[in-house]
């Protein structure tokens, strides 16, 4: 049994992108390094929690002391998340692809006569909204992320209401911000109670503070 403020608690985290197959050799994805999500998993483990990290394809190493479930697509990710329930805290840091290719080919699509293929898309399940709106086995605390390039707070507030989570960690990923793929992050904590802006800091410091805050909020529930 672990020691620390989250001893005895189960923390479920998603991280990284999802890959949605076009055919057996091609995919579409969002840009996501997995650095922030993996740092949160490491911080939760350091705080004594039992941690399940459901990760899309990333280049970063598995954090020590964490159960890592590796998935490719959004549908695999939602299934792995459901399977990992119940959890006390769920933190959805993955950059899930909003759409998958509807007409995914079983064989590699070949170039033919200069005519590019057309892809049609269908919407992927929204994992955060699905879990936050569950009647049974809803984690006590559900935290989402919002990567925005403009109107960061407004968009996060709208997202909070739409998804039904307890708070949103909003980060500015405009090209000048350096969050995308980088090691630092400037985030705003957006809840029904208001907005709190944290100074720009390393993703591991964001992770530690976020885990500490989540622990405090869980204790008050």
Report, as residue numbers or ranges, the catalytic residues: 30
Distance between alpha carbon 178 and the CA centroid of its chain, in Å?
18
Contacting positions for ligand C5P (CB under 6 A): 14, 74, 92-94, 96, 98, 124, 126-128, 144-146, 159
Would you say 109 or 195 has its CB closer to ligand C5P? 195
Kindly report each contact of residues 73-80 with a partner whose C-beta sits within 8 Å and lies 24 or more positions away, as own/partner: 73/18, 73/19, 73/20, 73/21, 73/97, 73/100, 73/124, 74/18, 74/20, 74/100, 74/124, 74/125, 74/127, 75/100, 75/124, 75/125, 76/18, 77/14, 77/18, 77/127, 78/125, 78/127, 78/130, 80/54
From the CB of 26, what's the least distance to ligand C5P, in Å? 20
Q: Judge whether 159 is annotated as a binding position.
A: yes
Would you say 6 or 145 has its CB closer to ligand C5P? 145
From the CB of 82, what's the least distance to ligand C5P, in Å? 12
Q: Judge whether 117 is annotated as a binding position.
A: no
Would you say 133 or 197 has its CB closer to ligand C5P? 133
Would you say 96 or 211 has its CB closer to ligand C5P? 96
Q: Judge whether 111 is annotated as a binding position.
A: no
Q: Judge whether 145 is annotated as a binding position.
A: yes
Q: Judge whether 128 is annotated as a binding position.
A: yes
From the CB of 107, what's the least distance to ligand C5P, in Å? 27
Buried b (16+ CB within 10 A) or exposed e, 128-164: bbebbeeeeebbebbbbbbbbeeebbebbbebbeebb
Would you say 98 or 216 has its CB closer to ligand C5P? 98
- Torsion sign (Cα): 41, 75, 148, 163: negative
From the CB of 116, what's the least distance to ligand C5P, in Å? 27
From the CB of 111, what's the least distance to ligand C5P, in Å? 31
Is the separation of the CB atoms in 19 and 58 below 8 Å? no
Residue nearest to ligand C5P (CB): 127
Binding site residue list: 98, 108, 125-128, 145, 159, 163
Binding site residue list for CTP: 98, 108, 125-128, 145, 159, 163
């Amino acid at each position: 049994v672990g020691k620390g403020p989250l001893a005895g608690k189960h923390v479920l985290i998603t991280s990284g992108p999802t890959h949605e197959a076009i055919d057996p050799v091609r995919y579409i994805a969002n840009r996501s390094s997995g650095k922030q999500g993996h740092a949160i998993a490491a911080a939760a483990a350091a705080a004594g929690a039992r941690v399940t990290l459901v990760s899309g394809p990333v280049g970063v190493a598995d954090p020590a002391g964490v159960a890592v479930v590796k998935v490719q697509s959004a549908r695999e990710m939602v299934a792995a998340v459901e399977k990992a329930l119940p959890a006390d805290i769920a933190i959805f840091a993955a950059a899930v692809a909003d759409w998958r290719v509807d007409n995914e080919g079983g064989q590699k699509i070949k170039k033919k006569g200069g005519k590019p293929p057309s892809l049609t898309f269908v919407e992927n399940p929204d994992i955060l909204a699905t879990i936050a709106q569950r009647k049974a086995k809803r984690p006590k605390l559900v935290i989402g992320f919002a990567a925005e390039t403009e109107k960061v707070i407004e968009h996060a507030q709208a997202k909070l209401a739409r998804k039904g989570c307890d708070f949103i960690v909003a980060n500015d990923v405009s090209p000048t911000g350096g969050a995308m793929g980088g090691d630092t992050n400037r985030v705003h904590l957006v809840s029904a109670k208001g907005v709190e802006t944290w100074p720009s800091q390393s993703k591991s410091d964001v992770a530690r503070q976020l885990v500490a805050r989540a622990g405090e909020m869980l204790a008050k529930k």
